[in-house]
Structure 1
Amino acid sequence: MDGFSKPFTERWVTLGRITGVHGVRGWVRVQSFTRPTENIFSYGPWLIRGVELPRLDYRASGRGFVVQLKGIEDREIAEELVGEEIQIERSSLPEPEDGEYYWADLLGMQVVTINETVLGHIDRLLETGAQDVMVVKAGSRERMLPFVQGPIVKKVDIPARRIEVDWELEEEE
């Protein structure tokens, strides 16, 4: 993999990440990738490293949440989970409406211009408030393109793993 995010998978969807530990009783800090962020608790069961770890309790804390997972009862065990993704079975999610996409489906997709110039692959997406932004990576070069359907994003082809955009390349390219 040339440095892009995890590959597209039909079976699993990543909803968040364990970012740290909280206290000495095995609670973990969780960053949610859902909108709104508390929606991460609407889905389950959570899979961490492919193993189902039920939630016993959770609460908001700072910009994220702290969560108690079944079987994780001390800080040392919790520390082993830091950096791990929180995933669910894709079948647990509702199908997106027409013109709506799960970010997980867009990661790694090839981005090409309407003139068939390959810009790279989606490395990550950013939420800016005004619109979502695709970070398109080709080698060490990154471009930031607004994910605005119509004027910029012309076609999203999930099965082909390809997005067509109306984007002018800079002169130095």
Structure 2
Amino acid sequence: MNDTGRRILLGRVLGAFGLRGELKLESWTEPRPAIFRYQPWILRDPQGVEREVRGARGKESGKYLIGHLPDVLDRDAAEAMRGTEIYIPRAAMPPPKPGEYYWVDLEGLRVVNVDGTPMGVVTHLFSTGANDVLVTRDDSRERMIPFVQPQYVTSVDFEAGVVTVDWDPDF
């Protein structure tokens, strides 16, 4: 699988915390503090400006993380980062365990049902809390398929670039 240039969105800056440049962070890693294990971070501010940062550190605090970046030294600098997204290169992630997938690796794969009917391409995935949902798009429509194996997602073949699903193409 070619992951050159691919990135994974791990979290975002919610705003300033305190007076010394600490940041209130939202993390989508599991467990949440694992976000600090993956470095360097590629920070993308709301205007689309990106920069790479190393040395991010922090701790859990209630439902958020409190983080510190080496070049953010006061509350004004921290507040200016509100809305900044935190990415890492896909190559910085360890290989997934057998039967597990990083969502970013599924994006772009073709989707067919068990009868071979094309059902579009994976555009993204999201979590509902109960299960993850695979979103596909073709020329005419978008479909949302529960990512439940093997009930609805029967196979993922990275070499062929295909996800096979047991799902009615008209649904």
Same fold (TM over 0.5): yes
Counterpart contact for 1:13–1:90, Cα < 8 Å? yes
Over the aligned positions, Cα root-mean-square deviation in angstroms equals: 2.9
TM-score normalised by the chain length of structure 2: 0.73
Aligned residues: 162
Tell me the distance in 2 between the aligned counterparts of 1:113 and 1:81: 44
Classify 1:140/1:116 alpha carbon distance in 2 versus 1 (closer, same or farther; 3 Å). Answer: closer
Question: What whole-Å deviation, never above 9, does each CA across 1:84-125 have from its counterpart, x for those lacking one?
Answer: 332334343221222211122123433332332324433232
After superposition, the Cα gap between the structure-2 partners of 1:123 and 1:71, relative to the gap in structure 1 and judged at 3 Å, is: same
Shift of 1:165: 0.9
- Is 1:18 aligned to 2:12, yes or no? yes
Match of 2:35 in 1: 40
> Where do residues 62-141 of structure 1 align in structure 2 (5 Å cutoff)?
62-114=62-114, 115-126=116-127, 128-129=129-130, 131-137=131-137
TM-score normalised to the size of structure 1? Answer: 0.73
For residues 127 and 36 of structure 1, do their structure 2 counterparts lie closer, same or farther at Cα, with a shift above 3 Å needed? farther
Q: Which moved more, 1:91-100 or 1:65-74?
A: 91-100
Q: Any unmatched runs of 5+ in structure 2? A: 44-49
Query: What letter is aligned with 2:25?
Result: V
Q: Secondary structure at the match of 2:136?
A: strand
Contact 1:18 1:81 in 2 (8 A): no
Shift of residue 161 of structure 1?
A: 4.2
The letter of the residue matching 1:97 is: K
User: Matched residues in 1 for 2:79 and 2:146: separation?
Assistant: 36
Structure 1 gaps of 5+ residues are 1-7
Q: Which residue of 2 aligns with 1:162?
A: 162
Q: Distance in 2 between matches of 1:69 and 1:140?
A: 45
Where 1:81 maps in the other structure, the secondary structure is: coil
Aligned mates of 1:30, 1:161 — CA distance in 2: 35
Paired residues of 1:19 and 1:30 also in contact (CA < 8 A): yes
Off by >6 Å, runs of 4+ in structure 1: none
